[in-house]
Amino acid sequence: MVKHNYTLSNLSKEDLEKFKSLFNYDEVRSSMSPSIDRHYIRVYGFRYWDQDSISEYESKVQKLNSELENHYMKINEYDDYEVEYDGDRSYPASFSFSIISK
């Protein structure tokens, strides 16, 4: 059975550096659900995901996964830019991911 309950803190120092070389670590946030610990990364270069931007990030994940020793990264979903109904807050485009043991 694959466990999803890993966070970036479970990565070795070397693997975390590999992650940081591909993704903007300053934009990593965490979210939790009853069964899965997830992270998400805010992306400010665009508002809406298209096939080119999805392919770019999936390529980065493939590169990272080929280099990680004991874990791999799985993208869970892509979220477009969003403004709350009253216009009070906005949320940049982002994608959520899980860290899973190999």
Give dist(CA 13, CA 44) in Å, integer. 27
- How high is the pLDDT of residue 21? 94
Give dist(CA 53, CA 32) in Å, integer. 25
3-class SS of residue 85: coil
Which range of residues forms the domain containing residue 12? 8-101
Q: pTM for the complete prediction?
A: 0.83
3-class SS of residue 25: helix
In a domain, 2, yes or no: no
Give dist(CA 97, CA 19) in Å, integer. 12
In a domain, 75, yes or no: yes
Domain count, the chain: 1
In a domain, 1, yes or no: no
Helices (H), 1-102: 13-22, 51-67
- How high is the pLDDT of residue 33? 63
Extract the tokens encoding 43.
């992306």
In a domain, 3, yes or no: no
- How high is the pLDDT of residue 1? 45
In a domain, 34, yes or no: yes
- The residue ranges of the chain whose pLDDT is under 70 are 1-5, 32-37
In a domain, 45, yes or no: yes
